[in-house]
């Protein structure tokens, strides 16, 4: 059995497509070099699981679907599955390349796997869809479409439910792969959302927050460190005021207070802080939010925002 500590690294969508980019394959492969070179080095001393976002890729596929009347539209569960294939391949091949560049001669085992994530059929999110996805529509286009729509400054947009992830269906498989020292790429885009009907799973039109799904997985696999890496170097409080500051080490209780006070925007930093705090509180292990270029330094305790393990008293 391995004694290397286990890190779960959740990569933000901007690990592949950065702001202002359209997302060519070249751009996505180039962007991945920054996190993948670090992960390749980390794999010497840690077992690694990688999860990732898929927002821009889902947006692009939906836009292509809408532009083409000849091909039947795929439901969101299948769009998510497609992005797991696409991004899983890009991450796996970029990491393979980074390992080769390091001159790694041992034969590291890899796997990128399709993952579904169970949500509750009665999750209130299904009554109140809030997550905007896909292209913008004119009022006239919006009337003809069978979606829940919201009006925005740029037009109408489809909103879907973003239910709470409960369990990763493949968690037993993922645990076995980790035991065998595979680097595992999974839970892409928060996973393909499924509900359980009796004992059968059924896909649903929803998207799952990838940081919350990653927190569930981090708990299931007993990760020693859970890292969320995106385009911000850490967690800021009092944003837009003279008191604004980036947090470095924060006790769980203090972070929960900031969350409750509304310091973090919903749909971006909010779920990240919630995901990390939940994990640290439940497991007593390390949780970090950092920039994509700072993954190694953050794990060494030199960058990012770390939610401090609860003291004995808090944890009890």
For a copy of itself, what does the binding mask look like between residues 34 and 63, x meaning CB under 8 A? Answer: --------------------------xx-x
Q: Which of 9, 48, 160, 194 binds a copy of itself (CB under 8 A)?
A: 194
Question: In angstroms, how far apart are the furthest CA atoms of the chain?
Answer: 62
Please indicate whether residue 270 is annotated as part of the active site: no
Q: Does 265 bind a copy of itself (CB under 8 A)?
A: no
| 277, containing H or E segment | helix 269-283
Please indicate whether residue 13 is annotated as part of the active site: yes
Q: Which residue's structure tokens are 């794999």? A: 43
Q: Residue 196 corresponds to which tokens in the numbers above? A: 């359980």
Q: Residue 283: helix, strand or coil by DSSP?
A: helix
Minimum Å distance from CB 248 to a copy of itself? 37
Rounded Cα distance between 232 and 25, Å, is 23
Rounded Cα distance between 239 and 259, Å, is 13
Q: Which of 5, 34, 173, 297 binds a copy of itself (CB under 8 A)?
A: 173
Minimum Å distance from CB 123 to a copy of itself? 20
Q: Does 200 bind a copy of itself (CB under 8 A)?
A: yes
Rounded Cα distance between 59 and 63, Å, is 6
Please indicate whether residue 131 is annotated as part of the active site: yes
Q: Does 75 bind a copy of itself (CB under 8 A)?
A: yes
Number of chain residues interacting with a copy of itself (CB under 8 A): 55
Assess contact for 57 and 16: CB atoms under 8 A. Answer: yes
Assess contact for 273 and 264: CB atoms under 8 A. Answer: yes
Q: Does 2 bind a copy of itself (CB under 8 A)?
A: no
Q: Tell me the β-bridge partners of 265.
A: none
Rounded Cα distance between 197 and 20, Å, is 42
Q: Does 311 bind a copy of itself (CB under 8 A)?
A: no
Q: Of 229, 289, 233, whose CA–CA distance to 259 is shortest? A: 289
Considering the complex, state which of residue 49 and residue 280 has its C-beta at the smaller distance from a copy of itself: 49
Residue among 60, 190, 210, 287 flagged as catalytic: 210
| Interacting residues toward a copy of itself by CB under 8 A | 22-25, 60-61, 63-65, 67-68, 70-72, 74-75, 77-78, 81-86, 88-90, 92-93, 96-97, 100-101, 107, 109-114, 116, 170, 172-173, 176-177, 180, 182, 192, 194, 198-201, 203
């Amino acid at each position: 059995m391995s004694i290397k500590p286990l890190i779960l690294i959740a990569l933000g969508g901007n690990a592949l497509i950065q702001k202002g980019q359209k997302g060519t394959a070249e751009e996505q492969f180039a962007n991945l070099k920054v996190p993948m070179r670090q992960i390749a080095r980390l794999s010497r001393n840690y077992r690694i699981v990688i999860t990732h976002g898929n927002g821009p890729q889902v947006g692009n596929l939906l836009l292509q679907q809408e532009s083409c009347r000849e091909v039947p539209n795929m439901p969101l569960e299948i769009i998510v599955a497609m992005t797991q294939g696409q991004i899983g391949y890009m991450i796996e091949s970029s990491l393979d390349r980074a390992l080769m560049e390091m001159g790694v001669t041992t034969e590291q085992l890899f796997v990128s796997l399709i993952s579904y994530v169970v949500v509750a059929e009665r999750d209130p999110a299904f009554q109140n869809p809030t997550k905007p996805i896909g292209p913008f529509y004119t009022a006239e286009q919006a009337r003809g479409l069978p979606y829940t729509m919201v009006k925005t400054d740029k037009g109408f947009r489809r909103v879907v439910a973003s239910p709470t992830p409960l369990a990763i269906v493949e968690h037993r498989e993922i645990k076995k792969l980790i035991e065998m020292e595979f680097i595992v790429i999974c839970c892409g885009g928060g996973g393909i959302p499924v509900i359980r009907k009796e004992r059968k799973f059924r896909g649903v039109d929803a998207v799952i927050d990838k940081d919350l799904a990653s927190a569930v997985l981090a708990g299931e696999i007993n990760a020693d460190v859970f890292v969320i890496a995106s385009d911000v170097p850490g967690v800021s409080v009092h944003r837009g005021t003279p008191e604004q500051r980036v947090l470095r080490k924060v006790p769980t209780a203090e972070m929960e207070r900031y969350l409750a006070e509304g310091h973090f925007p919903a749909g971006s930093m909010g779920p990240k802080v919630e995901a990390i705090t939940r994990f640290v509180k439940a497991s007593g292990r390390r949780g970090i939010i950092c920039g994509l270029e700072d993954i190694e330094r953050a794990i060494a305790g030199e960058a990012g925002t770390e939610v401090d393990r609860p003291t004995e008293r808090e944890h009890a």
